[in-house]
Chains A and B, each alone.
Chain A
Amino acid sequence: MATSTEILEALADYQEQCNGNARLRRMQKDWTKRLHFRGTDTGDWFTMVVVEGEITAFSAGTEGVPDIVVHATSEDLCDMFWGDLNPSQKYLRGEILVKASPEDVMRLDAITMIIWPG
C-alpha cells in the first residue's frame, strides 16, 4: 500500500518526465484536462491539471470538476507514475478503471507509452 506522500513524490517525477519530453508536449499540445485519481484501497484522492500538454499542478485531494477520473490501487497509481507499470494491461484486465471519453483514455495511455516506451 503506497502512502499519499509516496504518490505525491511519484507525481512530481511524472510531472518532470512529461514536461521535459518534447515529443509528448507536441502530441498533447491541444490537450487541456483536469484529472482526479483515487487510490481504491486507501481512499486517497489526487488532482492533476494539464494545460496544453503541460502538467501545471498536482495536489492531494479533489479540486474542481474533473474531465477524467482514474480508480486504481495506491500501489498501481504509484507504479504507474514512476513508469514501472503498463497501465494498458491493468486497464484491459479491469484493475484500473477510468471514467473518461475514449479519446481521453487513449491520450492518458499515450503519455505513459511516450515517456516510457516498451
Chain B
Amino acid sequence: MTQLRKAVGLPTVIATSSGLALATVSLTADVQIGLGMPGAAGWLAVLAAGLISVLASWCFAELVGMFPTAAGIKLFIEKAFGEKAALICATLYVGITVLIVGSESYVLAAVLHYAFPAVHQAWWVFGFLTLMALVNLRGIAITGIAQDVATYGMVLAIGGLAAWALLRPGAPPIPAPFELGTGFGFAQAVALGVFLYLGFEWVTPLAEEVTDFRLIPKGMLWSLAILAFVYGALHIGMMTMVPKEVLAGSSIPHVLFGEAAFGRVGLVAMAVVSALASITSFNAGLLTASRFLYAMARDWAAPRFLTRLHPDWATPWAAILTLYGLCTAMAAAVLTTGAFKLFIFLGAAIECMIFVVMALSVLRLRRTMPDLVRDFRVPGGTLVPWVVAVLYSVLFVLVFLPDPGRPAEHGAQLGALVTLLVVAAVVAAYVQWLVPVLRKKAAPAGGQKRRRRPGG
C-alpha cells in the first residue's frame, strides 16, 4: 500500500474527533444533565456516558476497518441491512444533525449577544450561518493543523479555567460531588450525557487519510477521554460557581461560569471558546452534510440539482445553499420559540439510535461476512455489540421518559419525540416512494447511453 503525501497522524485524529463533538450547544447541555441531581455529581453521568461511548467506538472501528471509506455509516448499514434501511438511517442521522445546527447557532448568538450586547442576537445568528456557508462554498475546510490548534486550544481553555476556578486558594467547596440522587435521575442524566459526545464518530472518514488504520480507534479513545475530562471539569465548575436556579433557565451557563469565576476576562474567554467550538463543529458538519447530499444526488437518491458544482471552486453549491436555507429556518424557529433544549434531547436520541444500528450492523456482518478482513475486531466476541445495542436502546427510551423531578423539561422531551417521529416518517416516505421515482428517471438515460469503451 503506498503512503499518501499528506497522511494524517494521531494528534489530528484526536483533534478532529474531539473538535466535532465540542460544540457550543454541548457546553450548554453539559449543565442540563446534572439539573436533576442533588449537587455537582453530574460529572459522574458525563463519565459514565463517555465510558459506554468507548464500547460504541469499538463498533465503529470494526466497521471502518472492513470498509475504510468516507461513505461510512450509509455503507455499513447497506452491507448489513440493505440499501433502503441505509438510506433511511443515514438520512435521518444527517438530517437531525443539521436540525441541531439551529440550536447551535441560537446558543452561540446568545453567548455573543451577552458578551457584546450592542449587536442583536438575530444578527449574530444570520451572520454566523452566512459566514459558514460562504466558507464552505469557497471550499475552506478547517482540517489538519488548524483543527489541532482550535481543538487543543479549546480543551486547554475550558479545562484550565475550570481547574483553576476550583483549585485556586479560596475557591468555594464543590457541592455534593458524589451524591447521585434517584437511580432514574442518574440514568436519565447518562442518557442526556450521550449528547455531549455527539459527533466524535464523524472522525471515521479519516480512515481514508491516516498513516495507519489503528489510529482511528486509538484516536476515538483519546478523544472520549479528553471530552470526558473537559465536560466533567466544566460541569463541576458551573455547578460550584453559579446557583443552580440561574443555570436551569440559561442557554449560556458556561459563559455565566466564566464571568462568575474570572469576571469580564472569563466571560470573553468563554465567548471565544464558544465561537471556536461552533466554527469547527459547524464547518465540519456542513462539509459532511453537503457532500452527503451531493453523493445521494449523484446516486440518484436525491434531486439532481444537488449535484451542481461551483464553476471555480468545485464545491457542491446547490447542496450547501439548500442546507444553509434549512439551518437558517431552524435557527429562526429556535430564535422565535427559544426551544433550544428540545434539540439536546433530540441529539441524544439520534446518537443512541445510530449506536444501536452500528452495533446491530457489527453483529449482522459477523454472520453474513465472516471472512472479510477486519483491521480491528471488537474484543469479547459478540458480547460488546450486544451490550451496546441493549444499553443504547434503553438510553434512547430514557431520553423521552418524563422525570417527575424535572417537570420543566417535559415539553422539550415531547417536542423532541414528535420531531423525531415526524422527520423519521418524512424520510421513510421519501425513501419508499420518491427515491424509486428518481431512480426510474435515471434508468432510461443510462439505458440509452452509448458506451464509449471500444468493444464494450
Could you tell me which A residues sit within 8 Å of B by CB distance? Answer: 9-10, 13, 23, 26-29, 31, 34, 36, 62, 65-69, 78-79, 82-84, 86, 88-89, 91-94, 97-103, 105-107, 109-110, 113-114, 118
Flag if A92 contacts B74 (CB, 8 Å). Answer: yes
Q: Which of A29, A98, A103, A109 contacts B139 (CB 8 A)?
A: A103
Distance in Å: Cβ of A71 to nearest Cβ of chain B: 9
A55 to B208, CA, bound (A): 23
Q: Which B residues touch A27, using CB under 8 A?
A: 309-314
Tell me, in angstroms, the Cα distance from A79 to B454 when the chains sit together. Answer: 10
Which chain B residues have a beta carbon within 8 Å of chain A's beta carbons? 1-6, 67-71, 74-75, 78-79, 139, 141, 143, 205, 208-209, 287-288, 291, 294-295, 298-299, 307, 309-316, 445-446, 449, 451-454, 456
In angstroms, how far is the closest chain B Cβ from the Cβ of A57?
17
CB closest chain-A residue, reference B79? A94
In the complex the two chains form, what is the Cα distance from A101 to B118 in whole Å? Answer: 41
Given contact pairs A67-B6, A69-B4, A102-B205, A92 touches B295 in the complex (Cβ within 8 A): yes
Whole-angstrom CA separation of A83 from B450 in the bound complex:
10
B314 touches which one: A62, A67, A83, A110 (CB < 8 A)? Answer: A110
Which 10 A-B pairs have CB atoms at the shortest separation, nearest pair first? A88-B298, A82-B453, A82-B452, A65-B5, A94-B67, A92-B71, A84-B451, A110-B314, A94-B75, A99-B208
Residues of chain A with a CB closer than 8 A to B209's CB: 99-101
Q: Which residue of A lies closest to B456 (CB)?
A: A84
Given A79-B456, A101-B209, A105-B70: A92 and B5 interface contact (C-beta under 8 Å): no
Residues of A with C-beta under 8 A to B299: 86, 88-89, 92
CB distance from B431 to the nearest CB of A (A): 15
Q: With A67-B4, A82-B456, A88-B298 as known contacts, state yes or no: A97 contacts B314, CB within 8 Å.
A: no
Bound state CA distance, A83 and B1, in angstroms?
A: 26
Residue pair B314, A101 in contact (C-beta under 8 Å)? no
The CB with the most chain B CB atoms within 10 A, among A23, A84, A93, A113, is that of: A93
Set B70, B295, B452: member contacting A83, Cβ < 8 A: B452
Tell me which residues across on chain A come within 8 A of B313, comparing CB atoms. Answer: 27
Q: Which residue of A lies closest to B316 (CB)?
A: A106
Alpha-carbon distance A34/B6, docked complex (angstroms): 12
A26–B453 touching, CB < 8 Å: no
- CB neighbours (8 Å) of A9 from chain B are 454
Say yes or no: A107 contacts B208, CB within 8 Å. Answer: no
Query: B453 is contacted by which of A31, A78, A91, A94 (Cβ under 8 Å)?
Result: A78
A47 to B309, CA, bound (A): 26
Are B449 and A100 in contact, CB atoms less than 8 angstroms apart?
no
Chain A residues closer than 8 Å to B4, beta-carbon distance: 65-69, 99-100
| Contacting pair A91 B5 (CB below 8 A) | no
A102-B309 contact, Cβ under 8 Å, with A67-B5, A86-B298: no
Shortest beta-carbon distance, A111 to chain B, in Å? 9
Known contacts: A106-B291, A107-B314, A114-B309. The answer to whether A93 contacts B78 by CB under 8 A is yes
